[in-house]
Chains A and B, each alone.
Chain A
Amino acid sequence: MKKNEIIIIVGLLAVSLIGIAAFYLINATDSPLSVRVTRQGEVLGIFPLSEDRTETFTDASGFNTLEITDGSAKMVAADCPDHICVKTYPISSPGETIVCLPHKLVVEVITGDS
């Protein structure tokens, strides 16, 4: 491996890390936050992050249970085969997502409370 290849690799690492930092900086806000739950682009519901609640979304493919506590949202249960959504860390910043690919469900933190 040559020197310029190491530079390329470091560059790629920098691009991704700066990208993540920029993403959080651009989306940083003081306004109230909500989570938007969509299935294949169709909005199933928007819930403010400020109040604790538990919602279950069911369709032919199965169910996902979303829990909002202390200003963050987490998928607490699902009957999908991979359970990637359940393993996802709680989300609380604008733009963060929880995705359940088998059930085509997306939970996203958005700015605003309606």
Chain B
Amino acid sequence: MTSKAYRLVILSLYVAMALILSYIESLIPLPLPIPGAKIGLPNIITLVSLLTLGWPLTLLVVIARIFLSGFLFGGGFSIVYSLGGGLLSLLVMSLLLHFLKDKISIILVSVFGAISHNLGQVIVAAIVVQTTSLLLYFLFLMVLAIPTGIFIGVTARELMRLLGKTTIFSKLNLPQKK
């Protein structure tokens, strides 16, 4: 199989897995006083994709996942908020991995990704409903984003470690990551 076709297969797998994780996440209600808070399970796939395919293809994974899960489980209105969060989070995580590649762990990247995801969503929400009073809500989300970000980061790191033992990524011509 050519490297290009192989990459397409991996890309489709990522979209499918992220979509399933979105669905699983929508089934788990968090017993927390902060409404709308989520664990961020699809971010596991975003992180793995960033580390294996790089940001341009991960952008496709994120956009495809958001549109598909928005239409399937969320109701169309949620797409614009998810895009705000998903894209800002991807931007922050890509920049961190690009500039601090060897100095930063996946866990910290994940924590910053989780916080910026909330920030992106709150900014879009503030624009849509035209209010400036969502700061307190964002701070509550940020407190929660830290443990969920650590959890997602640890999961992504372990997943990378296990998948690294297989030959799945060997055809992607990756720069070898520790």
Which residues of chain A have a CB within 8 Å of any CB of chain B?
Answer: 1-2, 5, 8-9, 12-13, 15-17, 19-20, 23, 38-41, 81-82, 84-85, 87-89, 95-97, 99, 101-102, 104-106, 108
Contacts and interface: CB of A to CB of B under 8 A. Distances in A.
Given A1-B108, A87-B35, A101 B81 contact: yes
B108 A96 contact: no
A5 to B, nearest CB: 5
B142 A95 contact: no
Nearest to B144: A16
A97 B108 contact: no
A12 B142 contact: yes
Given A12-B115, A23-B139, A97 B77 contact: no
- 4 interchain residue pairs of minimum CB distance: A41-B130, A16-B142, A81-B75, A84-B35
Interface of B: 33, 35-36, 74-75, 77-78, 81, 104-105, 107-108, 111, 115, 125, 128-131, 133-137, 139-140, 142-143, 146, 150
Contacts of A99: 125, 129, 131, 134, 137
Contacts of B78: 82, 101
Contact of B131 (A5, A12, A38): A38
B134 A97 contact: yes
B92 to A, nearest CB: 13
A8 B77 contact: no
Contacts of B134: 97, 99
Nearest to A96: B136
Contacts of A84: 35-36
Given A1-B108, A12-B115, A95 B136 contact: yes
A40 to B, nearest CB: 5
B137 A97 contact: yes
Given A1-B105, A5-B104, A96-B136, A101 B128 contact: yes
Contact of A108 (B131, B140, B142, B143): B131
Nearest to B75: A81
A110 B143 CA distance: 24
Given A1-B107, A9-B111, A87-B35, 17 more contacts: A5-B105, A12-B111, A15-B142, A20-B140, A23-B135, A38-B130, A38-B131, A39-B129, A40-B128, A41-B131, A81-B74, A84-B36, A95-B136, A101-B81, A104-B129, A104-B130, A108-B131
Contact of A101 (B33, B104, B125, B130): B125
B31 to A, nearest CB: 11
Contacts of B77: 81, 101-102
11 contacts: A5-B104, A5-B105, A16-B139, A41-B131, A84-B36, A88-B35, A95-B135, A96-B136, A97-B131, A97-B137, A101-B77
